[in-house]
Amino acid sequence: MMTQYMTQDELKTLVGRAALDYVTVGSIVGVGTGSTVDKFIDALGDALKVDPGRITGAVSSSVRSTLRLEALGIKVLPCESVSSLGVYIDGADEIDHDGNMIKGGGAALTREKIVADLAEKFVCIADESKLVSLLGTFPLPVEVIPMAAAQVIRAFSKLGGQAKVREGVTTDNGNVIVDVTGLGIEKPAQFESDINQWPGVVTVGVFARNKASVCLLGTEQGVKTLIFK
Ligand code: 5RP
């Protein structure tokens, strides 16, 4: 029986383990970034102790995840050496009831979008606090080339958002993150396309064109599986 009042950390462990069911034996798996993904990586490490052929390797979306995978003896392949992946497992800062997400709280959004694009299936792992009706309460991360940061901030302010550069953060690609609050994102796919056109924007943290196929949501009642069209 499920213990009551699981911590957020326990819910993350639950979904991190559950994600293993989506990884085909002997495959190469796409791995996202964040504290929930850390639990998935730990589960992969445990599975490999029992079956060293459980996976043949991983494609990672960040230096952080690469280090954790390699520490567990998991081979990390360069993204450019892989043409497709069966599954990409990653967390989210927010996910709506259609599988659209806000991502980038860990500043890894660009590489996450690249690796996710290789995968047939995006499995989002998240605790239930991440499920929302409308994206935009979590500050929207946008990766921006540094010289464009001020003008991107002004452009968001014209849309009614408040944006600022995340202090002390440089992405794995050498850019800055602009975090935007005050926007309710009603048409995520359109919004993603529009913001991606702005000069200096590398990646906007709305994942609507690469949305989740499945979300494994950690709840007090166990793992709830949401399947999206
Ligand atoms: C990193 C991300 C993460 O998936 C997102 O921030 C969720 O992280 P966590 O699992 O730690 O809550 O997009 O860029």
How much distance in Å is there from the Cα of 138 to the middle of ligand 1? 11
- pLDDT of 162 over the 80 cut: yes
Model confidence at 150, pLDDT cuts 50, 70, 90, reads very high
Q: Which residue ranges form the domains of the chain, and what is each CATH number?
A: 8-132+209-227 (3.40.50.1360), 140-204 (3.30.70.260)
Q: What pLDDT does residue 154 have?
A: 98
Mean pLDDT value of segment 1-7: 71
Mean pLDDT of the chain: 97
As a whole number, mean pLDDT of residues 23-36 equals 98
Supply the pLDDT for residue 138.
98
Residue nearest to ligand 1 atom 10, measured at CA? 36
pLDDT digits (tens, 9 = 90+) for 53-90: 999 999 999 999 999 999 999 999 999 999 999 999 99
Residue 1: pLDDT band (50, 70, 90) is low
Distance 153 CA to ligand 1 centre (A): 23
Mean per-residue pLDDT, 143-163: 98
Which residues does the annotation mark as catalytic? Answer: 112
pLDDT value, residue 5 = 85
Write down the pLDDT at residue 4: 67
Across 185-213, average pLDDT: 98
Q: Is the pLDDT at 202 greater than 60, yes or no?
A: yes
Mutation probe of ligand 1 site: the residue of 14, 103, 131 with most atoms within 8 A of C-beta:
103
Distance CA 173, CA 155 (A): 23
- Nearest ligand 1 atom to alpha carbon 108: 14
126: β partners: 217
Q: Which amino acid is at 200?
A: G
